[in-house]
Amino acid sequence: MATSLLAAALASCMAQADGSTEDEAMIDLAWDSGCFNCHDLDKSLRGPAWRDVAERYRDDDEALERLVVTVRDGGSGNWGEERMTPNRRVAEEDIKRLVSWLLSLPPAEEES
Ligand code: HEC
């Protein structure tokens, strides 16, 4: 699972002209922060696929601020029955970088 996610991420980096080192750094950070225990970029696991999160909040200017708090304190009921437990172990600054990056993910079909 780790390998396939990384392969997918690398493939998506190659498809995008810029930002590949940024993407790699963010993927590393997401692994280190434990996000990928429950999330994947393209698939719903326990939590929603991050591309779906990006899609839902694409036009929402306040999403970043709000989601940083949600990720830090945990949340439920926005995507289903599963609950996101608090991520207080992760520095708020890192959460902010992660959320702002995942919100910028393009939909999968734009990448082929
Ligand atoms: C224990 C499993 C788990 C971990 C670890 C986890 N998440 Fe989640 N995440 C979830 C679940 C479940 C949801 C859906 C919650 C809901 O329905 O409101 C979610 C939702 C989200 C959302 C959307 C929230 C909303 O209100 O729409 C974002 C953004 C997110 N996670 C980012 C992260 C980031 C960044 C990390 C790592 C720092 C992380 N998650 C770690 C399980 C997890």
Of all protein residues, the one whose alpha carbon is nearest to atom 27 of ligand 1 is 78
Residue 41 in contact with residue 9, Cβ under 8 Å?
A: yes
The stretch 88-107 carries a mean pLDDT of 97
State in Å: Cα 6 to ligand 1 middle.
Answer: 19
Atom from ligand 1 closest to the CA of residue 90: 38
Query: What residues line ligand 1, using a CB cutoff of 6 Å?
Result: 33-35, 37-39, 46-48, 53, 67, 70-71, 75-80, 82-85, 87, 90, 95, 98-99
Summarised one tens digit per residue, pLDDT across range 52-77 is 999 999 999 999 999 999 999 999 99
Summarised one tens digit per residue, pLDDT across range 7-56 is 666 555 554 545 578 899 999 999 999 999 999 999 999 999 999 999 99
Distance CA 31, CA 77 (A): 24
pLDDT band at 6 (very low <50, low <70, confident <90, very high): low
Of all protein residues, the one whose alpha carbon is nearest to atom 6 of ligand 1 is 35
CA distances from 40 to 44, 61, 73, 83, 88 (A): 7, 23, 20, 16, 20
